[in-house]
Amino acid sequence: MVTQQNIKTDIYAVRRGRPKVYSVNKNYHCPRCNRGFTLKRNMVKHQRHECGMEPKYQCPYCGKLSKFTQNLYAHIRKYHVGLGLYVEKLY
């Protein structure tokens, strides 16, 4: 399940044509799914709340993941004031 998710994420990265995002400035990697994070606390949060689950959406501004677009729209309104309401669909 984790491996499957990882493969999907990699395919997505290639399709988007920006694999660098996944290899630059990602100093911390989840030992379970190998997803990269710029901050260790983001990785810890990911491991506690997201790894093994299936978040489908991601904030394009900070990389926050969520299973629900509503949560990200609320997040963007709160933390990225003035920026467009837009989420990245992971798969």
61 near Zn ion, judged by CB under 5 A: yes
Range 80-87 contact pairs with CB under 8 angstroms and sequence separation of 24 or more: 86/60, 87/57, 87/58, 87/59, 87/60
User: At its nearest, how many Å lie between Zn ion and the CB of residue 18?
Assistant: 18
Q: Could you give the dihedral angle defined by the CA atoms of residues 46, 24, 12 and 29, in that order, rounded to the nearest 10 degrees?
A: -30
Q: Which two tokens stand for residue 32?
A: 């379970």
32 near Zn ion, judged by CB under 5 A: yes
64 near Zn ion, judged by CB under 5 A: yes
Piece of the chain touching Zn ion by CB under 5 A; list 3-11, 15-23, 46-54, 83-91:
46-54
**Applying CB under 5 A, which of residues 5, 42, 55, 59 lies at the interface with Zn ion?**
59
DSSP 61: T
Query: Which lies closer to Zn ion via its Cβ, residue 16 or residue 79?
Result: 79
**Applying CB under 5 A, which of residues 36, 51, 58, 73 lies at the interface with Zn ion?**
51
